[in-house]
A = this chain, B = another copy of it.
C-alpha cells in the first residue's frame, strides 16, 4: 500500500479540509445573501455564484472522503485524483477572483463614505469576503495535497 499524503482524498485530514471548505463557503453565502442589496453589485453576485458552486463540490468530496475512511480504502485511480485536482484548481481561481473582487468593492464603498451601504450591509460584505478568502486557503491546500499525491499513483 502506498504512503498516503495527509490531506489528500480519503484521509481524515482531507475530510476535515473539505468540511471546513463547506462550512466557510456556506457562511460566506449566508452573510452575503443576508445583506439587503447585494444583487445590485456584480462582484457580490459573482461571489454568491462561486460559493454556490463551491458548496456542492466540497460536500460531495467530503462524502467521498467519509466513504473512503469508513467503508473502503482511498481511491487509487489516477483519473479520479486528476479530476479532483483540476476541479479544485479551477474553483480556487474562481474563489480567489470572487473574494478579492468583493473585498475591493467593499473597501471602495466604505471609502466613499458608506452612502452605498444600506442598513449597515457593508459589515456583512466584509465578513463574507473574509470568509471566502478562508475557504480559498483550504481549497488551495486540498489541491496541493492531491497534486502531491498524483505522481505516486
Contacts and interface: CB of A to CB of B under 8 A. Distances in A.
Residue among A41, A43, A104, A151 facing the most chain B CB atoms (10 A cut-off): A104
Contacts of A48: none
Main secondary structure of the interface of A (DSSP, over half): helix
Contacts of A109: 108
A151 B112 CA distance: 50
Interface stretch (A29-37, A66-74, A94-102): A94-102
Nearest to A97: B100
A61 interface: no
Nearest to A92: B93
Interface string A25-56: 00000000000000001110010000000000
A73 to B, nearest CB: 24
Contacts of A102: 104
A43 B108 contact: yes
A82 interface: no
A116 B112 contact: yes
Nearest to A103: B101
B101 A104 contact: yes
Contacts of A111: 41-42
Given A43-B107, A97-B97, 14 more contacts: A41-B111, A42-B104, A42-B108, A42-B111, A43-B104, A43-B108, A96-B100, A97-B100, A98-B100, A101-B101, A102-B104, A104-B104, A108-B108, A108-B109
